[in-house]
Chains A and B, each alone.
Chain A
Amino acid sequence: MNHTASTATRSSPCANGSAARRWLAPLAWLLLLTYACWGMPWLEPLFRLVEPDSRDVIYARADFFLLLGRHMLVVGVAALLAIGIGVAAAIAVTRPAGRDFLPMVSQLASMGQTFPPVAVLALAVPVLGFGTLPVIVALLLYGLLPIVRNTLAGLEGIDGGVAEAARGMGMTGGQRLLRVELPLAAPIILAGIRTSVTINIATAAIGSTVGASNLGDPIISGIVNGNIAYVLQGALLIGLLALSVDSLFARLQPASPQ
C-alpha cells in the first residue's frame, strides 16, 4: 500500500466524456455493501455450510446498518482529525520557521508506523476508559503516519525550479502554498489519506474489544462463541466497506500523465 510514487505532474483532463463510467466501480461496491447489510439473512444457507451445528448462523444482536454506521463514523472522525493534524503538521515543518522540527517529525512518522494499533489501544484505555474515544485516538495516531509521510514527500518533492520560480516571480508564502505546493502535492497527499483510511477501516474492528460497537462486533463475538459464520459476516462487510472507500479514492485521484 504505497502510493508515494505517483507523480505530481498532471496532464490536461481530457477524459471528461467517460466521467460517468469512472464512477461505476465505487458505485457497484457501495451497492454490494448495502445489499449485503440488508440481505444477509438470505445468505443463511451459505453460512449454514460452514456452521452446520450452531443454532444461529446470522449475527442478529444488532442491525448491520447500525454497525456499519458506527464503523464509518469512528473511521470518519479519526480520518478527519488525522487529515487536519497530519497535513497541518507537515505544512508547518516545511515552512522556514518550522524547518528545525522537520527531522523530528519525519522520524516520528516513520517510527510510529511500526507501532501496532492494538498496543495504542491498550495504552489508551487506562487513560480514556472504554468506549469509542480510545478507538478514535488509536485510529487517529495510526492514521496520522501515512498522511504526514505523504504530505512531507509531496511538499518536499516539488521541483526545485518550480519552487524557485514561484519565489522569483514574487508570490508570497501563502500564495506559493495554496496555488503551487498543495495543488502539486495533492495526488501524493490523497494517496496517503487513502492508505490511512483503508487501513483504519480494517483496524477499527479491534475497537469492539474495548466496548466500541461496530462491524468488529460479529468478528469478536464469533471468535468468543466459536461461530465462524459471524466472523465471516463481519469480515465480508468490512472488506466491502474498504473496497468501496478505496475505489472512491481511486476516482478522486487525477489520472496519471501520459
Chain B
Amino acid sequence: MIELMQVSKRFGDALAVDDVSLNIARGELCVLIGTSGCGKSTTLRMINRLIEHSAGEIHLEGQPVREFREEVLRRRIGYAIQSTGLFPHWTVARNIGLVPGLLKWPRARIRERVEELMALLGLEVAEFADKYPSQLSGGQAQRVGVARALAADPDILLMDEPFGALDPITRESLQDELIRLQARLNKTIVFVTHDMDEALRLADRLVVMNQGRIIQQGHPLELLRRPADGFVESLLGGEDRGLKEAALLPVSQRMVALDDAPPDEQQVAQHATLREALSIMLWRHTERLTVVDEAGRPVGQLYLAQLVGINGEASGRGHDRHHRAAG
C-alpha cells in the first residue's frame, strides 16, 4: 500500500532521514517511534509530499507519489497533527467538511458525512457543529481533527502525535477509539508518537527510528522479546519490558479451566490484560484469580505461575485487537 524504498531527506548538510525502507500493508497500523528529532515527522510528511524526498522512491499502491498532483495526492490521504491545525474562523462542521468540499461533493452529502463522523467520534452534533475551535477542549479539538482527516473516507491516514498534548485519561480514550475505528474502517494508518505505551497499544507494526535511520521494525511483541540493540531495549523501557509485554496479552491467553476448587473471590475480566491481572494479584495479595466474562460468569482461572509464563509463551499468537478495543 505504502512503500518507501531507500528514502533519504537532506536539509542542507543535515541528513534528517537516512536510507529508510518501509513497506506498509493495507489495513496495517504502523507506528513510528524514536527520540525527538530522529526524523519521524519528516518521514510522514514525505508520504503526502509536504516535504519532498531527496533520494529513493515512495510508492502509493505501486505508483510513485511524485507522479500525483500534490493536491490530488493529499486529498486522498487523511492527515492529523498534534496542534490540530483547525481553522479558527470556521465552525466545527465546516472544518470537518473541508476535504469533501475541496472534492466538490454536493452540499447535502457533505452535511450527512459530517454528521456521521461527528457521531462516530462522539461529538454531539447539536452541541458542537456550530462551535468554533476556540470553544473546544483539547480532547474535543483532537476528535474534530481526526474527523476532518477521515472526512473524504481516505484509505490512508497519517497521524503526527495526534494525541500528544492530552492528559493520560483523554489520551487513552482516544486511543481506544482509534483502535475501534481501525477495526471498523480498516484504514492504513501511519502514526507518529514518542510515547512507547501508546505505540505498543496501537501498533501492528512498530518502527523504531534513531538519527534518521530505522533501527528495528516488527510486531511489538517481537521487538519486546528480541530488541535489536541497547537503544531499542532502553526505548522499550529496559526492565519494564516485562510489564509492557504483559499489557499486550489478554488474560484469556493464560487462563486455565475451572476446577473443583471453589472460585476465588478476586475476579478479573476475560478481556483484561495480563498486566491488569498482575496488578490485581499484587494489590489483593493473591496468587489466583477467577476469570469472568462480560456477564460476570466465571469462565476460568488464572494462577500467578501461569501469568508469569512458566509454561513458556513466546509466540505472538493471540494478538487480536478486539480484547484491547473492549477494554
Query: Which A residues lie at the B interface, using CB under 8 A?
Result: 8-12, 159-172, 175, 180, 183-184, 257
Top 7 nearest A-B pairs by Cβ distance?
A165-B85, A161-B83, A170-B74, A170-B75, A161-B85, A168-B79, A9-B88
Q: Which residue from A11, A167, A183 sits with its C-beta under 8 Å from B132?
A: A11
Given contacts A167-B50, A170-B72, A172-B71, contact A9 B134 (CB under 8 A): yes
B290 at interface, CB cutoff 8 A:
no
Q: List 10 A-B contacts (CB under 8 A).
A: A10-B89, A11-B135, A12-B130, A12-B131, A161-B81, A162-B88, A165-B85, A168-B50, A168-B74, A170-B75
Q: Kindly provide the distance from the CB of B162 to the nearest chain A CB, expressed in whole angstroms.
A: 12
Q: Kindly provide the distance from the CB of A247 to the nearest chain B CB, expressed in whole angstroms.
A: 25
Q: Which residue from B48, B81, B102 sits with its C-beta under 8 Å from A175?
A: B102
Bound complex: CA A231 to CA B98 (Å): 58
Q: 9 extra interchain contacts, Cβ-Cβ under 8 A, other than A12-B132, A170-B73? A: A11-B135, A162-B88, A168-B74, A168-B79, A168-B85, A169-B79, A170-B74, A172-B71, A184-B87
Q: Kindly provide the distance from the CB of B129 to the nearest chain A CB, expressed in whole angstroms.
A: 12
Q: Which of B70, B82, B85 has the most CB of A within 10 A?
A: B85
Q: Which residues of B have CB within 8 Å of A184?
A: 87-89
Q: Judge whether A169 and B148 touch: CB under 8 Å.
A: yes
B99 at interface, CB cutoff 8 A:
yes
Q: Which residues of B have CB within 8 Å of A162?
A: 85-88
Q: Which residues of B have CB within 8 Å of A166?
A: 85, 87
Bound complex: CA A90 to CA B80 (Å): 30
Bound complex: CA A159 to CA B134 (Å): 13
Nearest B-chain residue to A168, judged by Cβ? B79
Given contacts A11-B134, A12-B132, A165-B79, contact A170 B102 (CB under 8 A): yes
Q: Which residues of A have CB within 8 Å of B98?
A: 169, 171
Q: Judge whether A8 and B50 touch: CB under 8 Å.
A: no
Q: Which residues of A have CB within 8 Å of B75?
A: 169-170
Q: Judge whether B83 and A160 touch: CB under 8 Å.
A: yes
Nearest A-chain residue to B82, judged by Cβ? A161
Q: Judge whether A167 and B74 touch: CB under 8 Å.
A: yes
Q: Which residues of B have CB within 8 Å of A8?
A: 88
B84 at interface, CB cutoff 8 A:
yes
Given contacts A164-B50, A168-B48, A171-B102, contact A10 B74 (CB under 8 A): no
Bound complex: CA A168 to CA B88 (Å): 16
Q: Kindly provide the distance from the CB of B241 to the nearest chain A CB, expressed in whole angstroms.
A: 35
Bound complex: CA A12 to CA B84 (Å): 19
Bound complex: CA A249 to CA B45 (Å): 42
Bound complex: CA A9 to CA B136 (Å): 14
Bound complex: CA A166 to CA B50 (Å): 11
Bound complex: CA A183 to CA B98 (Å): 16
Q: Which residues of A have CB within 8 Å of B74?
A: 167-170
Q: Judge whether A183 and B85 touch: CB under 8 Å.
A: no
Bound complex: CA A168 to CA B70 (Å): 9
Q: Which residues of A have CB within 8 Å of B72?
A: 170
Cβ < 8 Å to A, chain B residues 267-284: none
Q: Which residues of A have CB within 8 Å of B82?
A: 161
Nearest B-chain residue to A258, judged by Cβ? B134
Bound complex: CA A10 to CA B134 (Å): 8
Bound complex: CA A257 to CA B83 (Å): 20
Q: Kindly provide the distance from the CB of A6 to the nearest chain B CB, expressed in whole angstroms.
A: 14
Q: Judge whether A170 and B50 touch: CB under 8 Å.
A: no
Given contacts A165-B84, A168-B74, contact A10 B79 (CB under 8 A): no
Bound complex: CA A188 to CA B256 (Å): 69
Contact with A along B54-78 (1 / 0, CB 8 A): 0000000000000000111111000
Q: Which residues of B have CB within 8 Å of A171?
A: 71, 98, 102
Q: Which residues of B have CB within 8 Å of A164?
A: 50, 81, 85
Q: Kindly provide the distance from the CB of A121 to the nearest chain B CB, expressed in whole angstroms.
A: 40
Q: Which residue from A10, A11, A159, A175 sits with its C-beta under 8 Å from B83?
A: A159
Q: Kindly provide the distance from the CB of B149 to the nearest chain A CB, expressed in whole angstroms.
A: 8
Cβ < 8 Å to A, chain B residues 99-124: 99, 102
Bound complex: CA A9 to CA B134 (Å): 8
Q: Which residues of A have CB within 8 Å of B134?
A: 9, 11, 257
Bound complex: CA A183 to CA B89 (Å): 8
